[in-house]
Amino acid sequence: MNYRNLIGGAWQDTAETLTNVNPSDLSDILGHAALGDAAQINAAIDAAHSAAPAWAASTPQQRFDVLDFIGTEILARKQELGTLLSREEGKTLAEGIGETARAGQIFKFFAGESLRLRGDKLASVRPNVEVEVTRSPLGVVGLITPWNFPIAIPAWKIAPALAYGNAVVLKPAELVPASAHALADIIARSGLPAGVFNLVFGPGRKIGAALVDSPRVTAISFTGSVATGRGIAAACAAQLKKFQLEMGGKNPMVVLDDADLDVAVEASVNGAFYSTGQRCTASSRLIVTDAIHDRFVAQLHDRLSALRVGHALAPDTQIGPVVDARQLEQNERYLQIAQDEGGIVQGGARLIRATEGFYMAPALVTETTSAMRINREEVFGPIASVIRVRDYDEALAVANDTDFGLSAGICTSSLKHASHFRAHAQAGMVMVNLPTAGVDYHVPFGGTKGSSFGPREQGSYAAEFYTTVKTAYTLP
Ligand code: NDP
């Protein structure tokens, strides 16, 4: 299978391609992705620029029909597309199908949103003057997406961009071209006018950077690493270009003495290790009060040793492989650093399976402190660390002792502590007796501090980023 660029409604090959390999089975080649060049990304921006005015003038019904078509097809094909996703990214089949269904639901949600675009009409402070506040599209938006949610993240950027009348150029992560290509194929058949949606594969530092640097791209929405996000922020700021960043997390899961132990262990296993820990919302810091600490750690160890790590498509697999060799090496490097800094590491070995892949046993690092690098930097693997604390007050202080602020969880049966934590956890999303990962598709997603920049994604709040506000005064 060749994954081609989609530019101005035409599928285009490139001289050079990149091989798409299954991380569960390195002998399984999914296909070859185009490697776009400067001419192609410029042509995609041209196409989007030319198509933008007509799409900005489209009716809510036209937008609804397009987005509803896309959502309906994704949902109808969720088994097939979810299998493709799991094959290229390595999350389990259930997770791949779940992510695909979510992408379909996101398109359905924004189909509805395109009918609900609101403004305000206010009385002026001046006699007889009318004041109207409306939202307009931005023009061309550049979307740069990571590998860990190959269909859901493109969906939650593309759907609002189109619903609010923008043209799009998508630059997906090189590691996961198959899902982006499948999504683009559906979009290309949805009735959307040619050029409104464009897809260009290629390395981020060339193709992504060209999007960021183009004066004809009005805004950039990015999800990925902090380092790349900072570079994009600097480049956009220099041009006064609107941008939105979703970056890493170092999400705390607080477990208090009065927690239901089973609930706390399950929330931690799910939040820290499912999707191989490759989620920006992963519960990477487990902050546990003294009286429950040892029981919690013992039960968590039991659960981790029983988790089945294997081929993403095998029905009994609970944890798929790590996405690639570079990420596996990064995970191992962090375990070594944690050990060197005094943590006790259990698990984390490379695993041999019937097919050659990037398999790693889940790892737990105990006896850690908040100052250790394992508790300060995003690892992005099946690794969690445990920090022992005295009481709720210390737990909250440690939970907030981070440069990040995406998601924060607490397991407790105390309404008082749960309410206090909801109010005082420095995070964009707070979970009580639930994993830090796993969110609804119709409400805002995003964080505070170093995790996010700009307006929230998803739900009706997405309009903040994908539109600009106009205030009109009329003396009739
Ligand atoms: P990156 O931030 O490098 O990649 C994210 C996206 O940005 C990709 O599409 C990438 O393209 C693109 N990109 C890379 N460099 C530039 C650039 N200079 N200008 C514009 N776009 C660019 O993340 P990685 O995939 O390299 O992962 C590294 C680490 O980032 C992970 O270990 C993890 O810690 C973190 N991460 C966090 C995610 C999150 O959701 N918070 C998601 C993914 C990673 P391409 O990949 O094609 O080069």
H/E stretch holding 105 reads: helix 93-115
| Ordered alpha helix ranges (H), 116-216 | 152-163, 177-188, 209-213
At 1 the pLDDT is 81
- Of 205, 201, 158, residue with least CA distance to 3: 201
Integer Cα distance of 253 and 272 in angstroms: 9
386 lines ligand 1 (CB under 6 A): no
CB–CB of 386/404 below 8 Å?
A: no
The structural domains of the chain, ordered by start, are: 2-247+451-474 (3.40.605.10), 252-432 (3.40.309.10)
Which residue's CA is the nearest one to ligand 1's atom 30?
Answer: 225
User: Which atom of ligand 1 is nearest the CA belonging to 406?
Assistant: 41
280 lines ligand 1 (CB under 6 A): yes
CB–CB of 217/198 below 8 Å?
A: no
C-alpha of residue 296 to centroid of ligand 1, in Å:
34
C-alpha of residue 204 to centroid of ligand 1, in Å:
8
Residue of 18, 153, 228 best suited for mutating to test ligand 1, as the one with most atoms within 8 Å of CB: 228
User: Which atom of ligand 1 is nearest the CA belonging to 327?
Assistant: 32
| Ordered alpha helix ranges (H), 217-376 | 226-239, 261-273, 290-306, 325-340
Burial state string for 189-210 with b = 16 or more CB within 10 A and e = fewer than 16: ebebeebbbbbbbbebeebbbb
**Residues with catalytic roles:** 246, 280
460 lines ligand 1 (CB under 6 A): no
205 lines ligand 1 (CB under 6 A): yes
Which residue's CA is the nearest one to ligand 1's atom 25?
Answer: 146
Helix (H, G, I), strand (E, B) or coil at 389: strand
208 lines ligand 1 (CB under 6 A): yes
200 lines ligand 1 (CB under 6 A): no
Helix (H, G, I), strand (E, B) or coil at 315: coil
Token reading at 298: 């013992």
Integer Cα distance of 467 and 455 in angstroms: 11
Integer Cα distance of 311 and 4 in angstroms: 27
10-residue stretch averages of pLDDT, the chain, 476 residues long: 95 94 98 96 98 98 98 98 98 98 98 96 96 98 98 98 98 98 98 98 97 98 97 98 97 98 98 98 98 98 98 98 98 98 98 98 98 98 98 98 98 98 98 97 97 97 97 96
